[in-house]
Amino acid sequence: MALLEASGISKIFGRLTALNGAELVVAEHEFHGLIGPNGSGKSTLMKCIAGAEVPTAGKVMFAGRDITSAPPSERARAGMSLKFQITSVLPALTLYDNVLLALQAQTSLPSLLFSRTRGVLHDRVMAMLEQFRLVDRASDAASALSHGQQQWLEIAMALAPEPRLLLLDEPTGGMSLEERRVTGELLQPIKQRCSLVIVEHDLDFIRDICDRLTVLDQGSVLDCGTVRHIQASPRVQEVYLRRA
């Protein structure tokens, strides 16, 4: 059974149809890339899946449960995690506290009040910071990080609660070539732990890490399949050549 199944997703903003019956199916431990030209509806589809937008029509099933109209907090509790397109780390907090904030989200209220899980979560916070090469900045405010490091911190925060599905919206946006390469390296080990849906413009990056791709164009799915299948798809080539 697929972990995520979004079917017939439409989203209309006033007179603009951003999505028109889009489909997305993601299996357990699959890395799935969402590509397409600017304005094709990638980020909107991601938002409909994460709960930032409610689709005008269609259904989102996650782990066998209909979450189409569930609020973001319930989706997160079901095992879905999102990294926003625009970096949204909490700049005034330290890196340590940013990750702790993400990790403790499902702690009960009495435990939060009496800080009962602070000690238990400490090792996981440090492990996450170490995995994303940020451990020596643990006590610094997140605002002191470079843009690339903020992106890594945000991925670490999204990954910290050990989600079943991680949604990454343009994780390498604004990064240098070297930072993109390292980001690819950082994402590879998570394959054993969760599935991934990634929106990205850098086709080389997405080709290297994804198992399957879905190509969107004008709010609809143009093609879907393995990386090799998409590379050979005349319809996809036509769209990209047309845009170029």
Query: 73 vs 231, which CB is nearer to other proteins?
Result: 73
Residue 11 CA to residue 5 CA, distance in Å, equals 16
- Taking the least distance from each CB to other proteins, the nearer of 3 and 224 is 3
Min. distance of Cβ 162 from other proteins in angstroms? Answer: 12
Of 110 and 234, nearer to other proteins (C-beta) is: 110
List residues bridging with 196 in a β-sheet: 31, 166
Contacting residues for 77 by C-beta, under 8 A, at least 6 apart: 106
Give the tokens for residue 79. Answer: 């095992």
Kind of pairing between the strands at 80-83 and 165-169: parallel
Which residue lies nearer to other proteins by CB, 40 or 183?
A: 183
User: At closest approach, how far in Å is the CB of 177 from other proteins?
Assistant: 12
Do residues 214 and 235 touch, judged by C-beta distance below 8 A?
Answer: no
Tell me the two tokens of residue 241.
């050549």
CB of 226 to other proteins, least distance (A): 30
- The Cα–Cα gap between 157 and 185 comes to 17
CA triple 226-224-208, angle to 5 deg: 40
Shortest Å distance, C-beta 190 to other proteins? 16
Residues that bind other proteins in the complex, under the rule CB under 8 A: 50-52, 71-73, 76-77, 81-82, 84, 88, 90-94, 96-97, 100-102, 104-107, 109, 111-118, 122, 125-126, 130, 133-139, 141, 146, 148-149, 157, 161, 178-179, 182
Name which of 74 and 204 has its Cβ closer to other proteins. Answer: 74
Q: In this complex, which beta carbon is closest to other proteins, that of residue 39 or of residue 173?
A: 173
* Residues forming a β-bridge with 32: 197, 212
* Rounded CA separation 2/30 (Å): 10
CA 81/CA 165 separation, integer angstroms: 6
User: From the CB of 112, what's the least distance to other proteins, in Å?
Assistant: 4
Report the nearest approach of other proteins to the CB of residue 130 (Å). Answer: 6
